[in-house]
Amino acid sequence: MEKKAAKIKLLFLDVDGVLTDGRIIMNAHGEEIKAFDVKDGQGLKMLLSIGVEVAIVSGRKSRVVEYRARDLGIKQLYQGVNDKKSLCRQLIEERGLEKEQVCCMGDDLPDLAMFRESGLRIAVADAAEEVRRAADRVTKNRGGRGAVREVCEWLLACRGK
Q: In 10 A of CB 61, how many CB atoms? A: 11
Query: Tens of pLDDT along 64-122?
Result: 999 999 999 999 999 999 999 999 999 999 999 999 999 999 999 999 999 999 999 99
- Full domain range(s) for residue 23: 2-158
Residues in Cβ contact with 114 at an 8 Å cutoff, skipping those fewer than 6 apart: 12, 14, 57, 84, 85, 88, 104, 106
pLDDT band at 2 (very low <50, low <70, confident <90, very high): confident
Query: Tens of pLDDT along 15-49?
Result: 999 999 999 999 999 888 999 999 999 999 999 99
Domain count, the chain: 1
CATH number, domain with residue 140: 3.40.50.1000
